[in-house]
Structure 1
Amino acid sequence: MARRRLLLLLKPFDVLPTHQSDNISQFRNPKLLQVLKYLDNRCLVHKEAINFCQTILRKKFVDWESVYRFNLCRPIHDVDLVVTIGGDGTLLQASHFMDDSIPVLGVNSDPTQAEEVEEYNEEFDATRSTGYLCAATVKNFEQIIDDILENRSRPSEVSRMSITLNSKQLPTYALNDVLIAHPCPATVSRFSFSIKKEGESCSSLVHCRSSGHRVSTAAGSTAAMLSAGGFVMPILSQDLQYIVREPIAPGAYNSLMHGTVKPDELMEIAWYCKEGLIYIDGSHLTHSVQHGDVIELSSKAPKLKVFLPPHLIS
């Protein structure tokens, strides 16, 4: 039995609880009933995955603790491994409390089932968890844990984004992306940006009127960045990718509105609106900005050690 310390981070049961399944029959609409049963099954599968992984960990670790994602409120220290059970969102949440000294293993507790998506594609979206960064499911969890304990598996170092506001370092590093926009993201915002090497003066400014500015890491390039017209980056790339959202200007869709920031460069953004928000890895973590504020983004953040799916690094 390995004398290693482990923290197990769990996604809460935030879909239809299984204890409500007895009341599902009260719904008369067949399609609604079908959706509710599907949601109930998702919660059940997630719960079974947690129980399965906990059983395995009890056999292999002497010292371990489990905590629900939303109860995590302090930096993670004094453990040898973090295991997240849920999906990419749970792993993202964990990353905000981790430095570059502790590796993390993501377990996709509720992977999408292709046959289910095909069966229900005309009724509703039956996509489950993507788990892009999750190397494990219940099918291979024990084998991966054994490989980690026997040093047959090594974590990869995935780039994160450093964020400074008026030269003050924000405490959270972005693993996926940063969106800078008005508190109502559909509102037109005014800002300028430039890309420069650290320590050098600003190059030419790009002035923008748009619905915001998105910058992603390689890990985040498959998410909102891709949907906005960006491209997928190799997972171990240290570049950042940016895109100006919905620019309002004739001929604005040009090379200046979409590009990359190299590891030896940083992006400086000057905000010209009365108010705004920096959204870090989604909508749950934000920082306020106001007219005249300057935000700097770079890949100088400590990397996150992640056990990645083999197909991402092959």
Structure 2
Amino acid sequence: MAIRRLLLLLKPFDAYPVSQSDGLSRITNPQLQHLDNRQKVHKDAINFCQNILRRKPVEWKALVRNNLSQPIRDVDLVITVGGDGTLLQASHFIDDSVPVLGVNSDPTRPEEVEKHNNEFDATRSTGYLCAATVDNFEQILDNIIKDRIIPSNLTRISIGVNSQVVSTYALNDILIAHPCPATLSRFSFKIKSNGQSCSPLVNCRSSGLRISTAAGATAAMLSAGGFPMSILSQDLQYMVREPISSGAASSLMHGFIKSHQSMEATWFCTQGIIYIDGSHVRCSIKNGDRIDISSTAPVLKVFLPHRVQNISRL
């Protein structure tokens, strides 16, 4: 894989309000010092990556992720500098032909978390899908340029509404719910294989339906009681959120959609939203709409960290 042209996609700097009286408090308040330090660490990571790229035999340009509005084409590699959120946002503009390398610009420092545990949450970026930090960025980049490592294929979710395919794919998960997710939702679903039902029809009253990929199984799905999955699995995992009176169908409230299967859901509320990888990408649905979910979307090619690759082999 010849790497000649790169896109460096950057997480924007977080804006923390500062008043004129904050000068002294930022010196004495550990939490404000922590926020200031996070800004500096992220900025330093961006400058570090840019300086490395200036020394490499490649063409590259930098773009803040908020300015990304068109599909990413005509590049051989996308490098995201931020965390999983930046890589996730990039994935909505990438097909299966352009690989991605995530750089965690602000990794969590265990000693810092322990030090401030009784004062505030000092956790920084998780970077679960980010293979690089400033400590190993140049080494990993050289390995990519010299074809020493290859990306992994991560499954994404394909979504159709009334037989019309939604133009973006989910790398982590989707949530089908009312525009106010605390509102009761009514829907039904069944699992299909080769166009035929292979599960009973399940009628639900709940706060929504979540479907995750293997990559997303460690996020909201796991927090809700789901199961971790091998990151290279092509199966999907689903869970009905907070079901009401599931009764005999309780065993069907949580399960898997195998790679050769799909899920067909029907929405029975006046309003609804399909939230795709969080709240920023969404698709509106209405009463009677049919939603088809499967893992037939184009994969996303990602250079994964060794710790994640090792888990996938278990």
TM-score of Structure 1 vs Structure 2, range by shorter chain: over 0.9
Work out whether 1:102 is the aligned partner of 2:105.
Answer: no
Q: What is residue 254 of structure 1 aligned with on the other side?
A: 250
TM-score in terms of structure 1 length: 0.94
Give the deviation of 1:34 after TM superposition: 1.8
Paired residue secondary structure (2:93): coil
Q: 1:82 aligns with which of 78, 92, 97?
A: 78
Q: Give how far 1:62 is off.
A: 3.4
Change (3 A) 1:152 1:251: same
- 1:244 match: 240
Distance change >3 Å, CA 277–CA 250, structure 1 → 2: closer
Matches within 5 A, 1:21-40: 24-27=22-25, 33-40=29-36
8 Å contact 1:3–1:63 — kept in the other structure?
A: no
Deviations 1:34-90 (Å, cap 9, x if unpaired)? 211111100100000000000001111431111001100000001000000000000
Structure 1 residue matching 2:55: 3-state secondary structure? helix
Q: Residues 24 and 36 of structure 1 are in contact (CA less than 8 Å); yes or no, is this contact kept in structure 2? A: no
**Corresponding letter in the other structure for 1:195:** I
Structure 1 stretches lacking a partner, 5+ long: none
- Cα contact 2:3–2:145 (8 A) shared by 1: no
Local SS of the residue matching 2:44: helix
The answer to whether the 8 Å contact 2:143/2:149 transfers is: yes
Alignment correspondent of 1:16 = 16
SS of alignment partner, residue 54 of structure 1: helix
Q: How much has 1:253 moved relative to structure 2? A: 7.8
Aligned partner of 2:68 among 59, 69, 72:
72
% identity of equivalent residues = 66
Give the corresponding residue for 1:219: 215
Worse-matched range after superposition: 237-246 or 2-11: 2-11
- Distance in 1, matches of 2:246 and 2:70, equals 47
Aligned partners of 2:56, 2:209: CA distance in 1, in Å? Answer: 46
- Aligned to 1:154, what secondary structure does the other structure show? coil
Q: 2:4 maps to which residue?
A: 4
**C-alpha separation in 2, matches of 1:64 and 1:126:** 34
Residues 273-312 of structure 1: matches in 2 within 5 Å? 273-312=269-308
Does 1:170 pair with 2:166?
Answer: yes
CA distance in 2, matches of 1:174, 1:198: 22
User: What TM-score does the superposition give when structure 2 sets the normalisation length?
Assistant: 0.94
1:231 alignment partner AA: F
Q: Is the 8 A contact 1:176 1:217 kept in 2?
A: yes
Of residues 41, 44, 51, the one that matches 2:40 is 44
- Matched residue pairs, number? 309
C-alpha offsets along residues 5-46 of structure 1, whole Å, 9 cap, x if unaligned? 0000000001438xx69964343995xx22111111001000
- The offset of 1:198, in angstroms, is 3.3
Letter in 1 for 2:251: S
The separation in 2 between residues aligned to 1:66 and 1:252, in whole angstroms, is 54
Question: Contact 2:3–2:77 (CA<8 Å) still a contact in 1?
Answer: no
Query: Runs (4+) of structure 1 moved beyond 3 Å?
Result: 20-24, 26-30, 250-253
* Offset from partner CA, 1:83-127 (integer Å, 9 cap, x none): 000000000000000000010000000000000000111111110
The corresponding residue for 2:178 is 182
Matched, 1:135 2:138: no
Separation in structure 1 between the aligned mates of residue 107 and residue 6 of structure 2, nearest angstrom: 24
Say whether the 8 Å CA contact 1:49–1:109 is kept in structure 2.
yes
Conservation of the 8 A alpha-carbon contact between 1:176 and 1:221: yes
For residue 172 of structure 2, what is the amino acid of its counterpart?
A: N
